[in-house]
Amino acid sequence: MSRPIPLILDTDIGTDIDDTWALAVLLRSPEVDVRLALSATGDTAYRARLLAKFLQVAGREDIPVGVGLPTVDESTPRRLQEAWVQGYTLADYPGTVYADGVTALIETIRHAPEPVTLLSIGPLTNLAAALERDPAIARNVHFVGMHGSVYRGYGGAPEPHPEYNVRLDIPASRRVFSADWLSLTLTPLDTCGLVTLKGEAFAAVRHSRHPITRALMENYSVWCAASPDWLKTPLDPARESSTLFDVVAVYLAFADDLLDMQTLPLIVDEAGFTRVHPAGKPARCAMAWKNQPAFEQWMVERLR
């Protein structure tokens, strides 16, 4: 096996539960070496506490936690996994905590002797701020993100939607999509919006005794009990997962063989849609599944 890929995670963990699934899969992936976990948008101190406790439970206190830029305009501000971190503070984390997570992001990239993969599974506020401070960091980064909706929308809808991670901070999305990254790889809703676990596959994860997966299932139960506003019908944490958008981005950080990848020039318009446009930066986009069941089985094997 080749050396693990150096990776930075930027996540809005603590709103939709798919970020927590993605973190669990990431920590079970020997292909990567996580150098920093950074909280993004909204109540970033809450999100950083969630990251820190999860990493501590996983025995990964070697991973520094960065507190990202807080914002006050989040459309879903509730702390849906607060019950899992109640009483836990950043001072409890045995590892390193950076109060200025954006600076930590910049310094981690600057001092990396080889290109870093920047895995973004949240709105792009931190990354736009980092590029504003030091545009040169893009030249040492392979960007991988869960962003956009090109031809299909939420739930496989036949028309695109302004995807949440893009529309929550449209100016930041425009800045990041136009940066001079070494490469730009995205899973839009066209593929990541189709992934769930049910039946035997979900049961295999739910009954796992691995501490990382146990922490994931605890968080999933807490999240379901908090009744996220956007769910049309309540989910049963004993039977099925929510849509696992962000786990596809984790996979794309080091593999893409189960997906149909197309290079498309993308822009972000004023309404937060990701459009194919001649003036757009070329992005490698996961536009269709070659073998979605194999991907879901891969996820199960990582977590069981």
pLDDT band at 231 (very low <50, low <70, confident <90, very high): confident
Instruction: Count CB neighbours of 162 within 10 A.
Output: 17
SS3 282: strand
Length of the chain: 304
SS3 80: coil
For the question of whether the overall pTM of this predicted structure is more than 0.85, the answer is yes
Q: What is the pLDDT of residue 76?
A: 56
Q: Judge whether 54 and 81 are in contact, CB under 8 Å.
A: no
Provide mean pLDDT across the span 104-110: 98
At the fourth CATH level, which superfamily is domain 5-303? Ribonucleoside hydrolase-like (3.90.245.10)
Q: What span, in angstroms and rounded, lies between the C-alpha atoms of 135 and 178?
A: 11
pLDDT band at 1 (very low <50, low <70, confident <90, very high): low
Q: For residue range 50-97, list pLDDT tens digits in order.
A: 999 999 999 999 999 999 999 986 555 579 999 999 999 999 999 999
Give the single-character DSSP code of 17: T
Q: Judge whether 284 and 148 are in contact, CB under 8 Å.
A: no
Domain boundaries along the sequence of the chain: 5-303
The residue among 51, 19, 54 whose CA lies nearest residue 145 is 19
Q: For residue range 126-154, list pLDDT tens digits in order.
A: 999 999 999 999 999 999 999 999 999 99
**What is the chain's mean pLDDT, rounded?**
96
Q: What is the pLDDT of residue 75?
A: 56
Q: What span, in angstroms and rounded, lies between the C-alpha atoms of 78 and 68?
A: 17
End-to-end CA distance of the chain: 22
pLDDT band at 232 (very low <50, low <70, confident <90, very high): confident
Give the single-character DSSP code of 140: G
